[in-house]
Amino acid sequence: MSFGSPLLLATLVVPLGGLLAYFWIARKPPHGSISFPNLAVLASVRGRSSWKRHLVAALVLSTLLLLCVGVARPKVLRAAPVDRSTVVLVVDVSVSMNAVDVAPSRLEAARKAIRSFVDGVPSQVKVGLIAFSDDPVVLVSPTNDKEALRSAIASLAPGYGTAIGDAVARGVEVVQLATGEEGATKGAATKAGAVVLLSDGSQTRGILDPLQGADIARQAGIPVYTIALGTPEGTVTINRGGIDLVVLVPPDRLTLARIAEATGGSTFEATDADRLGEVYKQLGRVVSTEEKPREVTAAFVVVAATLLAVGIGLAGLWAPRLP
Protein backbone atom coordinates (compact mmCIF):
# COMPACT_ATOMS: atom_id res chain seq x y z
CA MET A 1 0.00 0.00 0.00
CA SER A 2 1.18 3.52 -0.80
CA PHE A 3 -0.16 6.94 0.18
CA GLY A 4 -0.85 10.08 -1.81
CA SER A 5 -0.31 12.29 1.26
CA PRO A 6 1.96 10.25 3.57
CA LEU A 7 2.67 13.18 5.88
CA LEU A 8 -0.95 13.10 7.02
CA LEU A 9 -0.25 9.74 8.64
CA ALA A 10 1.01 11.88 11.52
CA THR A 11 -2.67 12.20 12.51
CA LEU A 12 -2.42 8.63 13.81
CA VAL A 13 -1.24 10.20 17.06
CA VAL A 14 -4.91 11.09 17.70
CA PRO A 15 -6.24 7.51 18.05
CA LEU A 16 -3.01 6.50 19.79
CA GLY A 17 -3.47 9.29 22.31
CA GLY A 18 -7.12 8.31 22.73
CA LEU A 19 -6.12 4.71 23.43
CA LEU A 20 -3.60 5.76 26.07
CA ALA A 21 -6.13 8.12 27.65
CA TYR A 22 -8.75 5.37 27.76
CA PHE A 23 -6.37 2.97 29.53
CA TRP A 24 -5.37 5.71 31.99
CA ILE A 25 -8.99 6.53 32.82
CA ALA A 26 -9.94 2.85 33.10
CA ARG A 27 -7.14 2.17 35.60
CA LYS A 28 -7.63 5.36 37.56
CA PRO A 29 -9.21 4.68 41.00
CA PRO A 30 -12.54 6.37 41.75
CA HIS A 31 -12.46 9.62 43.82
CA GLY A 32 -15.20 8.68 46.20
CA SER A 33 -16.93 5.61 47.53
CA ILE A 34 -20.52 4.55 47.82
CA SER A 35 -22.16 2.04 50.03
CA PHE A 36 -23.57 -1.03 48.34
CA PRO A 37 -25.01 -3.78 50.52
CA ASN A 38 -24.53 -6.68 48.12
CA LEU A 39 -20.97 -6.79 46.76
CA ALA A 40 -21.58 -10.00 44.77
CA VAL A 41 -24.32 -8.34 42.73
CA LEU A 42 -22.14 -5.24 42.23
CA ALA A 43 -19.25 -7.38 40.94
CA SER A 44 -21.48 -9.24 38.50
CA VAL A 45 -22.95 -6.02 37.12
CA ARG A 46 -19.50 -4.47 36.81
CA GLY A 47 -18.19 -7.54 34.97
CA ARG A 48 -21.04 -7.52 32.49
CA SER A 49 -20.73 -3.82 31.69
CA SER A 50 -16.94 -3.78 31.47
CA TRP A 51 -16.63 -5.67 28.16
CA LYS A 52 -19.43 -3.62 26.66
CA ARG A 53 -17.64 -0.43 27.55
CA HIS A 54 -14.39 -1.76 26.05
CA LEU A 55 -16.14 -2.80 22.83
CA VAL A 56 -17.70 0.62 22.29
CA ALA A 57 -14.35 2.28 22.97
CA ALA A 58 -12.63 -0.06 20.51
CA LEU A 59 -15.17 0.78 17.80
CA VAL A 60 -14.71 4.51 18.31
CA LEU A 61 -10.91 4.25 18.30
CA SER A 62 -11.01 2.05 15.19
CA THR A 63 -13.12 4.70 13.50
CA LEU A 64 -10.52 7.35 14.29
CA LEU A 65 -7.73 5.05 13.08
CA LEU A 66 -9.42 4.41 9.73
CA LEU A 67 -10.19 8.08 9.20
CA CYS A 68 -6.58 9.05 9.92
CA VAL A 69 -5.33 6.52 7.40
CA GLY A 70 -8.00 7.62 4.93
CA VAL A 71 -6.96 11.28 4.93
CA ALA A 72 -3.48 10.15 3.83
CA ARG A 73 -5.09 8.92 0.55
CA PRO A 74 -4.16 5.23 0.63
CA LYS A 75 -3.56 3.50 -2.71
CA VAL A 76 -3.41 -0.19 -3.63
CA LEU A 77 -2.26 -1.87 -6.84
CA ARG A 78 -5.08 -3.17 -8.99
CA ALA A 79 -4.99 -4.92 -12.36
CA ALA A 80 -6.27 -2.64 -15.11
CA PRO A 81 -6.52 -3.13 -18.90
CA VAL A 82 -3.59 -1.68 -20.82
CA ASP A 83 -4.33 0.93 -23.48
CA ARG A 84 -2.06 -0.76 -26.01
CA SER A 85 -0.15 -4.01 -25.78
CA THR A 86 1.79 -6.21 -28.16
CA VAL A 87 2.59 -9.85 -27.58
CA VAL A 88 4.49 -12.11 -29.94
CA LEU A 89 3.85 -15.84 -29.62
CA VAL A 90 6.96 -17.83 -30.51
CA VAL A 91 6.17 -21.52 -31.06
CA ASP A 92 8.58 -24.40 -31.38
CA VAL A 93 7.63 -26.59 -34.38
CA SER A 94 10.63 -28.93 -34.29
CA VAL A 95 10.13 -32.62 -35.01
CA SER A 96 9.79 -33.31 -31.27
CA MET A 97 6.38 -31.59 -31.36
CA ASN A 98 5.09 -34.82 -32.91
CA ALA A 99 5.48 -36.53 -29.51
CA VAL A 100 2.21 -37.84 -28.11
CA ASP A 101 3.04 -37.66 -24.38
CA VAL A 102 0.81 -34.57 -24.46
CA ALA A 103 -2.36 -35.87 -26.08
CA PRO A 104 -3.26 -35.91 -28.87
CA SER A 105 0.21 -34.56 -29.70
CA ARG A 106 2.35 -31.71 -28.45
CA LEU A 107 1.73 -29.74 -31.63
CA GLU A 108 -2.03 -30.20 -31.63
CA ALA A 109 -2.24 -29.29 -27.94
CA ALA A 110 -0.22 -26.15 -28.68
CA ARG A 111 -2.51 -25.21 -31.60
CA LYS A 112 -5.60 -25.51 -29.39
CA ALA A 113 -4.12 -23.54 -26.48
CA ILE A 114 -2.82 -20.76 -28.72
CA ARG A 115 -6.21 -20.44 -30.46
CA SER A 116 -7.84 -20.02 -27.04
CA PHE A 117 -5.24 -17.40 -26.13
CA VAL A 118 -5.94 -15.43 -29.31
CA ASP A 119 -9.71 -15.66 -28.80
CA GLY A 120 -9.45 -14.59 -25.18
CA VAL A 121 -7.20 -11.51 -25.27
CA PRO A 122 -8.91 -8.10 -25.53
CA SER A 123 -9.21 -6.55 -28.99
CA GLN A 124 -6.72 -3.79 -28.16
CA VAL A 125 -3.93 -6.35 -27.74
CA LYS A 126 -1.95 -6.95 -30.93
CA VAL A 127 -0.74 -10.53 -31.32
CA GLY A 128 2.01 -11.81 -33.61
CA LEU A 129 3.01 -15.39 -34.37
CA ILE A 130 6.45 -16.84 -35.05
CA ALA A 131 7.14 -20.51 -35.75
CA PHE A 132 10.67 -21.84 -35.34
CA SER A 133 12.58 -25.02 -35.93
CA ASP A 134 15.93 -24.58 -37.72
CA ASP A 135 15.09 -20.88 -38.20
CA PRO A 136 12.37 -18.55 -36.88
CA VAL A 137 9.70 -17.56 -39.42
CA VAL A 138 7.23 -14.72 -38.86
CA LEU A 139 3.82 -16.10 -39.82
CA VAL A 140 1.81 -13.06 -38.71
CA SER A 141 3.10 -9.64 -37.66
CA PRO A 142 1.37 -8.20 -34.56
CA THR A 143 -2.23 -7.53 -35.49
CA ASN A 144 -5.78 -7.32 -34.14
CA ASP A 145 -6.99 -9.55 -37.00
CA LYS A 146 -7.88 -12.71 -35.12
CA GLU A 147 -8.99 -14.56 -38.23
CA ALA A 148 -5.53 -14.16 -39.77
CA LEU A 149 -4.03 -15.49 -36.57
CA ARG A 150 -6.33 -18.51 -36.50
CA SER A 151 -5.37 -19.38 -40.08
CA ALA A 152 -1.67 -19.13 -39.23
CA ILE A 153 -2.13 -21.31 -36.14
CA ALA A 154 -3.84 -23.97 -38.24
CA SER A 155 -0.86 -23.95 -40.63
CA LEU A 156 1.72 -24.82 -37.95
CA ALA A 157 3.63 -27.90 -39.09
CA PRO A 158 6.68 -29.68 -37.66
CA GLY A 159 10.14 -28.99 -39.07
CA TYR A 160 13.38 -30.43 -37.79
CA GLY A 161 15.81 -28.65 -35.42
CA THR A 162 15.38 -26.20 -32.53
CA ALA A 163 16.89 -22.69 -32.63
CA ILE A 164 15.73 -21.19 -29.33
CA GLY A 165 18.23 -18.31 -29.17
CA ASP A 166 17.46 -17.09 -32.69
CA ALA A 167 13.72 -17.41 -32.01
CA VAL A 168 13.92 -15.22 -28.90
CA ALA A 169 15.92 -12.57 -30.75
CA ARG A 170 13.45 -12.59 -33.65
CA GLY A 171 10.52 -12.26 -31.29
CA VAL A 172 12.15 -9.23 -29.66
CA GLU A 173 12.77 -7.67 -33.06
CA VAL A 174 9.12 -8.10 -34.06
CA VAL A 175 7.93 -6.52 -30.79
CA GLN A 176 10.29 -3.58 -31.34
CA LEU A 177 9.04 -3.05 -34.89
CA ALA A 178 5.41 -3.16 -33.74
CA THR A 179 5.93 -0.75 -30.86
CA GLY A 180 8.50 1.50 -32.56
CA GLU A 181 6.19 4.50 -32.99
CA GLU A 182 5.07 4.41 -29.37
CA GLY A 183 8.65 3.96 -28.20
CA ALA A 184 9.82 6.93 -30.24
CA THR A 185 7.25 9.22 -28.63
CA LYS A 186 7.31 7.94 -25.07
CA GLY A 187 10.70 6.33 -24.68
CA ALA A 188 11.78 2.70 -24.78
CA ALA A 189 10.90 2.07 -21.13
CA THR A 190 7.19 2.62 -21.82
CA LYS A 191 6.81 0.13 -24.65
CA ALA A 192 4.07 -2.36 -23.87
CA GLY A 193 5.34 -5.59 -25.38
CA ALA A 194 6.21 -9.16 -24.45
CA VAL A 195 7.34 -12.43 -25.98
CA VAL A 196 5.71 -15.76 -25.10
CA LEU A 197 8.02 -18.64 -26.02
CA LEU A 198 6.83 -22.25 -26.13
CA SER A 199 9.45 -24.96 -26.60
CA ASP A 200 9.54 -28.69 -26.02
CA GLY A 201 13.23 -29.47 -26.41
CA SER A 202 16.83 -28.35 -26.21
CA GLN A 203 18.63 -26.13 -28.68
CA THR A 204 20.09 -28.05 -31.64
CA ARG A 205 20.36 -25.32 -34.31
CA GLY A 206 20.85 -21.59 -34.63
CA ILE A 207 23.46 -18.86 -34.49
CA LEU A 208 22.63 -17.50 -31.03
CA ASP A 209 22.50 -19.68 -27.95
CA PRO A 210 19.39 -19.26 -25.75
CA LEU A 211 21.02 -16.96 -23.20
CA GLN A 212 22.38 -14.70 -25.91
CA GLY A 213 18.84 -14.33 -27.18
CA ALA A 214 17.72 -13.62 -23.60
CA ASP A 215 20.37 -10.92 -23.27
CA ILE A 216 19.01 -9.18 -26.37
CA ALA A 217 15.53 -9.23 -24.80
CA ARG A 218 16.88 -7.95 -21.49
CA GLN A 219 18.66 -5.03 -23.13
CA ALA A 220 15.49 -4.16 -25.04
CA GLY A 221 13.43 -4.25 -21.83
CA ILE A 222 11.09 -6.89 -23.23
CA PRO A 223 10.09 -9.74 -20.89
CA VAL A 224 10.06 -13.27 -22.23
CA TYR A 225 7.52 -15.68 -20.73
CA THR A 226 8.54 -19.28 -21.35
CA ILE A 227 6.56 -22.52 -21.47
CA ALA A 228 8.23 -25.92 -21.28
CA LEU A 229 5.90 -28.36 -23.02
CA GLY A 230 6.08 -32.12 -22.58
CA THR A 231 7.29 -34.78 -20.16
CA PRO A 232 10.76 -36.26 -19.65
CA GLU A 233 9.44 -39.54 -21.08
CA GLY A 234 8.28 -38.04 -24.40
CA THR A 235 9.65 -39.74 -27.53
CA VAL A 236 9.51 -39.42 -31.32
CA THR A 237 10.48 -41.84 -34.05
CA ILE A 238 13.10 -40.52 -36.47
CA ASN A 239 14.21 -42.34 -39.64
CA ARG A 240 17.94 -42.21 -40.18
CA GLY A 241 19.50 -44.14 -42.99
CA GLY A 242 16.39 -46.23 -43.41
CA ILE A 243 16.34 -47.16 -39.73
CA ASP A 244 13.59 -45.96 -37.38
CA LEU A 245 15.03 -44.67 -34.13
CA VAL A 246 13.01 -43.89 -31.02
CA VAL A 247 14.48 -40.73 -29.47
CA LEU A 248 13.74 -39.19 -26.08
CA VAL A 249 12.68 -35.53 -26.41
CA PRO A 250 12.37 -33.99 -22.92
CA PRO A 251 11.82 -30.22 -22.64
CA ASP A 252 14.76 -28.10 -21.50
CA ARG A 253 13.07 -26.62 -18.43
CA LEU A 254 16.26 -25.18 -16.94
CA THR A 255 17.20 -23.16 -20.02
CA LEU A 256 13.68 -21.82 -20.44
CA ALA A 257 13.58 -20.82 -16.76
CA ARG A 258 16.89 -18.98 -17.15
CA ILE A 259 15.58 -17.08 -20.17
CA ALA A 260 12.51 -15.94 -18.23
CA GLU A 261 14.54 -14.98 -15.18
CA ALA A 262 17.07 -12.99 -17.23
CA THR A 263 14.36 -10.96 -18.99
CA GLY A 264 11.94 -10.32 -16.13
CA GLY A 265 9.33 -12.79 -17.35
CA SER A 266 7.91 -15.94 -15.80
CA THR A 267 8.33 -19.60 -16.64
CA PHE A 268 5.71 -22.33 -16.76
CA GLU A 269 5.62 -26.08 -17.25
CA ALA A 270 2.89 -28.00 -19.07
CA THR A 271 2.81 -31.79 -19.14
CA ASP A 272 -0.73 -32.13 -20.49
CA ALA A 273 -3.14 -30.23 -22.72
CA ASP A 274 -5.32 -28.94 -19.88
CA ARG A 275 -2.35 -27.44 -18.06
CA LEU A 276 -1.11 -25.86 -21.30
CA GLY A 277 -4.51 -24.24 -21.80
CA GLU A 278 -4.43 -22.86 -18.24
CA VAL A 279 -0.95 -21.42 -18.80
CA TYR A 280 -1.99 -19.56 -21.95
CA LYS A 281 -5.14 -18.33 -20.20
CA GLN A 282 -3.04 -16.96 -17.36
CA LEU A 283 -0.62 -15.34 -19.77
CA GLY A 284 -3.55 -13.71 -21.55
CA ARG A 285 -4.35 -11.86 -18.33
CA VAL A 286 -0.70 -10.97 -17.76
CA VAL A 287 -0.09 -9.38 -21.15
CA SER A 288 -3.43 -7.54 -21.36
CA THR A 289 -3.40 -5.94 -17.90
CA GLU A 290 -0.99 -3.98 -15.78
CA GLU A 291 -0.88 -3.07 -12.12
CA LYS A 292 -1.90 0.53 -11.47
CA PRO A 293 -2.29 2.33 -8.13
CA ARG A 294 -5.89 3.02 -7.19
CA GLU A 295 -6.95 5.32 -4.36
CA VAL A 296 -9.17 3.58 -1.79
CA THR A 297 -9.92 6.50 0.53
CA ALA A 298 -13.67 6.02 0.04
CA ALA A 299 -13.45 2.42 1.29
CA PHE A 300 -11.75 3.55 4.51
CA VAL A 301 -14.40 6.23 5.06
CA VAL A 302 -17.26 3.77 4.48
CA VAL A 303 -15.83 1.23 6.94
CA ALA A 304 -15.14 3.98 9.48
CA ALA A 305 -18.70 5.30 9.20
CA THR A 306 -20.05 1.77 9.64
CA LEU A 307 -18.00 1.16 12.77
CA LEU A 308 -19.03 4.52 14.21
CA ALA A 309 -22.71 3.78 13.56
CA VAL A 310 -22.38 0.39 15.24
CA GLY A 311 -20.58 1.95 18.20
CA ILE A 312 -23.24 4.64 18.64
CA GLY A 313 -26.00 2.06 18.34
CA LEU A 314 -24.48 -0.25 20.94
CA ALA A 315 -23.77 2.64 23.29
CA GLY A 316 -27.41 3.73 23.07
CA LEU A 317 -28.65 0.15 23.51
CA TRP A 318 -26.49 -0.54 26.54
CA ALA A 319 -26.83 2.89 28.19
CA PRO A 320 -28.40 2.75 31.66
CA ARG A 321 -31.97 4.00 31.82
CA LEU A 322 -33.89 5.50 34.70
CA PRO A 323 -36.88 3.45 35.87
Q: Is residue 285 part of a domain?
A: yes
> 25 and 96 in one domain?
no
Model pLDDT, residue 182:
46
Q: Is residue 318 part of a domain?
A: no
> 230 and 122 in one domain?
yes
CA distance linking residue 226 with residue 81, whole number of Å: 22
Q: Which amino acid is at 171?
A: G
> 39 and 122 in one domain?
no
> 232 and 86 in one domain?
yes
Q: How many other C-beta atoms can be found within 10 angstroms of the C-beta atom of residue 66?
A: 22
Q: Which residues on neighbouring strands pair with residue 91, listed in sequence order?
A: 131, 198
> 232 and 161 in one domain?
yes
Q: Is residue 308 part of a domain?
A: no
Model pLDDT, residue 81:
58
> 167 and 67 in one domain?
no
> 202 and 57 in one domain?
no
Residues of the chain short of pLDDT 50, as ranges, are 36, 42, 181-191, 322
Among residues 72, 106, 121, the one where a domain terminates is 72
Domain that holds residue 242: 80-292
Q: Is residue 160 part of a domain?
A: yes
Identify the CATH number of the domain in which residue 85 sits: 3.40.50.410
Model pLDDT, residue 319:
64
Prediction pTM value: 0.69
> 183 and 65 in one domain?
no
Total domains present in the chain: 2
> 123 and 42 in one domain?
no
Q: Is residue 66 part of a domain?
A: yes
> 225 and 85 in one domain?
yes
Q: Is residue 314 part of a domain?
A: no
Q: How many other C-beta atoms can be found within 10 angstroms of the C-beta atom of residue 22?
A: 16
> 84 and 64 in one domain?
no
φ/ψ region of 204 (left if φ > 0, alpha if ψ in -120 to 50, else beta) reads alpha
Q: Is residue 303 part of a domain?
A: no
> 27 and 68 in one domain?
yes
